[in-house]
Structure 1
Amino acid sequence: MKVLIIEDELHNAKRLKGILEDIDPEIEVIAMLEGVTESISWFKNQHHPDLIFTDVRLTDGLCFDIFSEVAFKCPVIFTSAFDEYALRAFQVNSIDYLLKPIKKEDLIKSLHKFKTTVHPPYLGQVMDDIAAILKQQQKNYRARFLIPTRDSFYTVMIKEVAYFYTEHRITWAVMANNRHHTIPFTMEELEEQLDPDVFFRVSRQYLINNFSITRINNYFNGKLQLMLNPETPEKIVMSRDRSKIFKQWLDR
């Protein structure tokens, strides 16, 4: 069975690939793609797989943007970190989903469902229904954090955050005034909660607000180096592929 994985976090894609191959050695992961643009190009030049695993929200758009450009009939299993309201839409429409972080036992059930379903549901209508829910959710991005202290609480406003970064498994919010706050969320969780038109994940360690960018320098081999205000603890250099997506994000 030939499988395609569409996932913009390489460590998540590799983990899914490893679990699939452990479950069934006959599964062949033919490609791991990162975004909408790359996937559209791939589909136009390759034979379609037997099954697709795709994250719902990719760096350069929603996975539905791929399906609107490419006509195919192979089944899709979505991977997602959305809340229960959105997940119910997947269940009602009989398209399977895997909630991140993906568990082996859930993946086994999804593969069994794929192998035993005689007539997969009409993907077009399913995507329209789910896309409508996701677009509605996108209007309600997080606006603030409520942070507890020893004997009180205080708020951190999202619009004042210059960037988030991780260090030793701790997530920090760096404000425009250079104050630092610890945030009780992973970078993956923050990506789901923040407006993708404002925040961009430039690397595994950094999620930046567009207002924080002061300079973009060309680096070696098509890479980009970012200068932010406030300054970052370490130099930010994006990979070549990430740099392409970043430039598309800035130019839309």
Structure 2
Amino acid sequence: MKILIIEDEQRNANRLQSLLLEINPDIVVVDILESVSDSVEWFAANDEPDLILMDVRLADGLCFEIFSVCTLTAPVIFTTAYDEYAIRAFKVNSIDYLLKPIDKVELASALDKYKQFSSQNQTGAMISSLVDIIKKPGAVYRSRFLIPIHDGYKTIIVQDISYIYSEFKVSHLVLASGEIQAILFTMDELEEQLNPDLFFRANRQHLISINSIKSIHNYFNGKLKVILNGLEDVEIYISREKATLFKQWLDR
């Protein structure tokens, strides 16, 4: 069995590889990838493996961005920490989802389960259904933030946010009015809480709203430069590797 591991933490990737070989020495790990962009390039150049072990949160974004660019038919075991509702959704759709740290017995059980999926069309349909569940709009995504101020609180509506940036490990909401508000969430947490149809993780420091984009320009080495409405002095750069994902996001 040929297995591809997509995991951005080297320790976790090594552990997965060791557990797989302990369970079945005949397993071949064809590659270990750590990002969305690496995965997109890999699938464009290689045949699909028999099975994919995929972490939800990767170095440059959520793994679901891969499915926006690539049409995958191989079975997938998703790994990471996530809410119980999502885990139940995976189970109902017969797609396994393993919580870290990965347990050897549970991994072996998942491998046995995936031996049942001989129909690529069936597998592809289940993956598509799974992605729809995880990205389902509604109460899953934030519509506002409650911010403590002095002796009270104020509300910031998500639609009023132009972009979010991180500086010295502190996240800041930048509103269309120009107001800047520090917030006690990491960029990874904010990316997970905001609707991916409306916000794009441009890089590690920036999340941008689709409604705030004024213009997009080609930049050096295949990069893109994004200018925002009313914030012309702010330039946000998107790497060559992530430029394709960004264009796909804009063209939905």
The alignment's TM-score, normalised by the length of structure 1, stands at 0.73
Q: Deviations over 1:124-168 (max 9, x none)?
A: 564365345335x32333110111234211101111111111122
Q: Which residue of 1 aligns with 2:183?
A: 183
Tell me whether 159-168 or 79-88 shows the greater mean CA deviation.
Answer: 79-88
Q: Which residue of 2 aligns with 1:120?
A: 116
Q: Which residue of 2 aligns with 1:201?
A: 201
- After TM superposition, the structure 1 = structure 2 runs for residues 49-128 of structure 1, keeping only pairs within 5 Å, are 49-54=49-54, 69-72=71-74, 75-79=75-79, 82-99=82-99, 103=100, 105-106=101-102, 108-117=104-113, 119-120=115-116, 123=123, 126-127=126-127
Contact 1:54 1:63 in 2 (8 A): no
Q: Which residue of 2 aligns with 1:223?
A: 223
Question: What SS class does the counterpart of residue 95 from structure 2 fall into?
Answer: coil
Deviation at 1:4, TM superposition (A): 1.9
Q: Which residue of 1 aligns with 2:31?
A: 30
Give the Cα separation in 2 of the matches to 1:213 and 1:82.
31
Give the Cα separation in 2 of the matches to 1:153 and 1:188.
24
Q: Which residue of 2 aligns with 1:213?
A: 213
Contact 1:6 1:13 in 2 (8 A): no
Q: How has the CA–CA distance of structure 1 residues 47 and 245 changed in structure 2, closer, same or farther, with 3 Å as cutoff?
A: closer
Question: What SS class does the counterpart of residue 102 from structure 2 fall into?
Answer: helix
Q: Which residue of 2 aligns with 1:143?
A: 143
Q: Which residue of 1 aligns with 2:248?
A: 248
Question: What SS class does the counterpart of residue 226 from structure 2 fall into?
Answer: strand
Deviation at 1:231, TM superposition (A): 5.7
Identity %: 42
Give the Cα separation in 1 of the matches to 2:233 and 2:79.
32
How many residues align? The count is 238
Q: Deviations over 1:222-247 (max 9, x none)?
A: 111223343677x5322101122212
Give the Cα separation in 2 of the matches to 1:217 and 1:125.
37
- Aligned CA RMSD, in angstroms, stands at 3.7
- Quick one: which amino acid aligns to residue 190 of structure 1? L
Deviation at 1:55, TM superposition (A): 5.0
Give the Cα separation in 2 of the matches to 1:231 and 1:14.
39
Tell me whether 109-118 or 145-154 shows the greater mean CA deviation.
Answer: 109-118
Question: What SS class does the counterpart of residue 85 from structure 2 fall into?
Answer: helix
- Quick one: which amino acid aligns to residue 76 of structure 1? V
Q: How has the CA–CA distance of structure 1 residues 238 and 119 changed in structure 2, closer, same or farther, with 3 Å as cutoff?
A: closer
Deviation at 1:61, TM superposition (A): 5.5
Give the Cα separation in 1 of the matches to 2:127 and 2:144.
31
Structure 2 runs not aligned, ≥5 long: none
Deviation at 1:88, TM superposition (A): 0.8
Give the Cα separation in 1 of the matches to 2:15 and 2:193.
27
Q: How has the CA–CA distance of structure 1 residues 202 and 107 changed in structure 2, closer, same or farther, with 3 Å as cutoff?
A: farther
Tell me whether 75-84 or 201-210 shows the greater mean CA deviation.
Answer: 75-84
